[in-house]
């Protein structure tokens, strides 16, 4: 399959432009939040007047976390003091976004007195749907591209402005991630939300599944950040850390937390 599309769709003014990555992130947010509000559990949280603010906080937390992890993973790319703030130049980590939301959003939820675990459980159902859609933006932009391959599943980028290696066949790792995350969403939506009845279990399950998706896909990514004398990359170690913490919390919550009240 040939991918001729470049990172930018069109320029608005100067450095400001509409790009495929931003477009699919916006679509992912719109679709996943709409679906989230249609869930019966959403009405029980009484978020009618605060939901838009929560989503806004999550977006900024995701941007901050994604950029922060990108900077600390490759500091040599941000030599000037203001480089980390120039997010339009690229450099972003999906795992960092997850961590940003986890650490920042609860502070706001505490202020507005919204129960953290019930909301995170609900969001965990639709987070992989958002990620699956956003990964399609990566496909067209060329970021997160795979290593060269002779597999029949390979793709080739034909536009020299793409972020990916162009003119050679590579693994469509963005599609692999998108399909894996879509499967995670289907599991969370059709099975997990009806099976896991204790607060926090859905959220822990999402963290375990999404971190493992990144861990395994990373073996095929051409942009993986290698660590000397190690089989695993920087982001694979981050993914393993997230998985381990989520698994521990899952075990504790399964044993000690109380069951949700039944929703009619």
The pLDDT tens digits of the residues spanning 50-82 come to 999 999 999 999 999 999 998 988 888 788 877
Task: Give domain status of residue 150, yes or no.
Answer: yes
Task: Give domain status of residue 83, yes or no.
Answer: no
Determine the Cα–Cα distance for residues 73 and 63; give it in Å rounded to an integer.
15
Report yes or no: 96 and 66 within 8 Å, Cβ to Cβ: yes
Q: What is the pLDDT of residue 259?
A: 79
Of residues 105, 6, 1, the one with CA closest to residue 60: 105
Could you give the C-alpha distances from 255 to 193, 198, 200, in angstroms and in order?
18, 10, 12
Q: Which domain holds residue 245?
A: 2-45+115-256
Q: How many domains does the chain have?
A: 1
Task: Give domain status of residue 86, yes or no.
Answer: no
Q: Which structure tokens are listed for 234? A: 């920087």
Task: Give domain status of residue 40, yes or no.
Answer: yes
Task: Give domain status of residue 109, yes or no.
Answer: no
Q: Which runs of consecutive H residues, i.e. helices, occur in the chain?
A: 20-37, 40-44, 51-73, 94-112, 116-141, 173-187, 193-195, 201-217, 234-256
Task: Give domain status of residue 123, yes or no.
Answer: yes
The pLDDT tens digits of the residues spanning 222-264 come to 999 988 888 999 999 999 999 999 999 999 999 887 876 654 3
């Amino acid at each position: 399959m040939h991918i001729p599309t470049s990172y930018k769709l069109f320029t608005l003014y100067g450095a400001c432009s509409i790009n495929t990555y931003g477009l699919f992130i916006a679509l992912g947010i719109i679709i996943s939040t709409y679906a989230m509000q249609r869930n019966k559990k959403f009405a029980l949280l009484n978020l009618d007047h605060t939901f838009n603010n929560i989503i806004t906080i999550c977006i900024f937390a995701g941007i901050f976390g994604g950029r922060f992890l990108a900077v600390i993973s490759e500091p040599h790319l941000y030599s000037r003091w203001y480089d980390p703030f120039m997010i339009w130049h690229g450099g972003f980590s999906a795992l960092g976004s997850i961590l940003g939301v986890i650490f920042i959003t609860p502070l706001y939820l505490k202020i507005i007195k919204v129960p953290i675990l019930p909301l995170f459980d609900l969001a965990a159902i639709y987070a992989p749907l958002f990620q699956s859609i956003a990964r399609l933006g990566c496909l067209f932009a060329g970021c997160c591209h795979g290593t060269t391959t002779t597999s029949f599943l390979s793709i080739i980028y034909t536009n020299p402005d793409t972020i990916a290696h162009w003119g050679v066949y590579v693994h469509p790792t963005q599609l692999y991630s998108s399909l894996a995350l879509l499967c995670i969403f289907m599991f969370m939506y059709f099975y997990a939300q009806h099976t896991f009845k204790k607060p926090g279990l859905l959220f822990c399950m999402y963290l375990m599944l999404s971190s493992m998706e990144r861990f395994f896909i990373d073996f095929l990514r051409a942009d993986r950040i290698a660590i000397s004398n190690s089989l695993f990359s920087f982001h694979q170690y981050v993914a393993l850390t997230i998985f381990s913490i989520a698994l521990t919390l899952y075990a504790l919550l399964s044993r000690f937390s109380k069951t949700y009240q039944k929703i009619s």
